[in-house]
Copies of this chain bind each other. A is one copy, B any other.
Amino acid sequence: MMAALARALVDRPRASLQELAAAVGISKATLYRLCRTRGHLVERLVHHATTRITEAIEAARLDAAPPLAALERLITNNLEHRELTTFLIRYWQHTPTAAGVEAGWDAALDAFFLRGQRAGVFRIDLAAPALTEILVALLLGLIDAERRGRVARASLAEVIERAFLRGAGV
């Protein structure tokens, strides 16, 4: 339900509450009982999404596990929350609370890539923040590509990992 609402809010940001309810198959009244205002709904979804994704990042053990194993878990864990991830990208700019969470994720990923660079696993001619952004870009972009039917769902994680680690060149 939360995931469906997140997706509806992303697909049609200008939809009225009535349209949102219809999009997820409930009545306007039920949506109202869930969250009295649109603001509450967004707040609640942001909180839900940040919680889940923080769990996904922590479960990857970026600070201690071998870099390549941690990277793989990071990718697969995040793919399990596609709708929430795409929701956050579009909505956390409106909720100042989430800004600190984003900064925390950036810091965790930056530190992870720095560690991997020192361990000789990631290249050093791209700054660690750039590596973070490259990975996030691939995650978001290919999730969307799957939604549009351009990449098969089964191969998603594989494509992302390969593109991130080795690129498209021979």
Contact = CB atoms under 8 A, between A and B. Distances in A.
A169 B165 contact: yes
A168 B169 contact: no
A78 interface: no
A163 to B, nearest CB: 5
Contacts of A137: 137-138, 140-142, 144-145
Interface stretch (A20-28, A29-37, A54-62, A119-127): A119-127
Interface string A129-155: 111111111101110110000110001
Contact of A166 (B13, B123, B150, B162): B123
Interface residues of A, number: 40
A64 interface: no
How many copies of this protein are present in the complex? Answer: 2
A145 B133 contact: yes
Contacts of A159: 126, 130, 134
Contact of A13 (B14, B120, B122): B14
Contacts of A93: 11
A133 B151 contact: yes
A10 to B, nearest CB: 10
Given A137-B140, A142-B137, A150-B133, A166 B166 contact: yes
Interface string A111-123: 0010000001111
Q: Which 9 A-B pairs have the closest CB atoms?
A: A137-B141, A167-B167, A133-B145, A165-B169, A13-B13, A166-B167, A134-B163, A165-B167, A137-B137
Interface of A: 11, 13-14, 93, 106, 113, 120-123, 125-126, 129-138, 140-142, 144-145, 150-151, 155, 159, 162-170
